[in-house]
Copies of this chain bind each other. A is one copy, B any other.
């Protein structure tokens, strides 16, 4: 298969960018891959582990001559980075991102775009609780969805090329508009993360139950929350601040439902509880049938090589 892009620049070298690099190399999707990270420590780590063909000392240097530039920084930093690199973008290049929020990112990035650059936001729905340049692995995107959010006037060829690129890394691609993306992610990601952070925070705060007890007896359910509550704090702070409306809407719905179930517990309404719990099983089956999780009962996770 021919290269999809001659040169790709990755700005920000965390879990997503490092996974992209390994996937690009494994599947030979691009010629040179340049990279830039804000801190010299991250740039040094990247050089040490061979992450990127060339690690640059500035974002501008990294994007020079690139056919595809992917912003892989926290959502709150996208606008500033776009402003900095804008003058160095090659005419005809595609600028994309991997942020978990789309409306605010588009509003922050779009004003800086020079003429002749294709801006096509994207969001791979994949991640782990680990972060940083060492956390990446080539298989992260396999069988996961990558949502592509074309803008008014996005050229179809440029969109199709970006989709091929993500498909080349193993992802399934779908197009979606920014507002709907932000609502869907509020439900499937942002509200669940805030809830998990909250539950773990409550457990940590209780005086009458020690942290050691919480840890030892976590296999009873709590453990499932701690994985997502261990995600990168900066990334998640930015997600909540930049998808405020949709997240608060879903949390409002969540609180309403939680109160209804609490009342059922208080009044002893076993039938309501049983019906509710029966209904929620179906979604789990759907997720397994869709290949987004496996049905292994014992939670025996293993590392892939």
Q: Tell me if A's interface is mostly helix, strand, loop or mixed.
A: helix
Give the CA-CA distance A284 to B229 in the complex, in Å.
8
**Nearest chain B residue, comparing its CB with the CB of A204:** B283
Give the CA-CA distance A187 to B205 in the complex, in Å.
11
Considering only residues 206-254 of chain A, those with a C-beta below 8 Å from chain B are: 206, 208-209, 211-231, 233-234, 236-238, 240-241, 244, 247-248, 250-251, 253-254
* Contact present for A227 and B224 (CB under 8 Å): yes
* Contact present for A266 and B244 (CB under 8 Å): yes
* Contact present for B233 and A278 (CB under 8 Å): yes
Which stretch of A6-14, A156-164, A256-264 is in the interface? A256-264
**Nearest chain B residue, comparing its CB with the CB of A137:** B298
A36 CB, nearest partner CB in chain B, Å: 23
A266 CB, nearest partner CB in chain B, Å: 6
A49 proximal to B (CB < 8 A): no
* Contact present for B258 and A128 (CB under 8 Å): no
A126 proximal to B (CB < 8 A): yes
* Contact present for A145 and B216 (CB under 8 Å): yes
A263 CB, nearest partner CB in chain B, Å: 10
User: Which residue in B125, B216, B273 is a CB contact (below 8 Å) of A217?
Assistant: B125
* Contact present for A297 and B128 (CB under 8 Å): yes
A230 CB, nearest partner CB in chain B, Å: 4
**A106 cross-chain contacts in B, Cβ below 8 A:** none
* Contact present for A223 and B273 (CB under 8 Å): no
Contacts known (A187-B206, A214-B188, A304-B300); A292 close to B227, Cβ less than 8 A: no
Give the CA-CA distance A202 to B252 in the complex, in Å.
10
A57 CB, nearest partner CB in chain B, Å: 28
**A233 cross-chain contacts in B, Cβ below 8 A:** 273-274, 277-278, 281
**Nearest chain B residue, comparing its CB with the CB of A214:** B188
Which stretch of A37-45, A86-94, A190-198 is in the interface? A190-198
* Contact present for B203 and A188 (CB under 8 Å): yes
Beyond A201-B276, A230-B284: 19 further Cβ-contacts under 8 Å?
Answer: A145-B217, A147-B217, A183-B208, A184-B209, A187-B202, A188-B220, A188-B222, A196-B221, A198-B257, A202-B250, A204-B282, A224-B228, A229-B283, A236-B277, A240-B265, A241-B265, A296-B301, A298-B304, A299-B301
**Nearest chain B residue, comparing its CB with the CB of A247:** B265
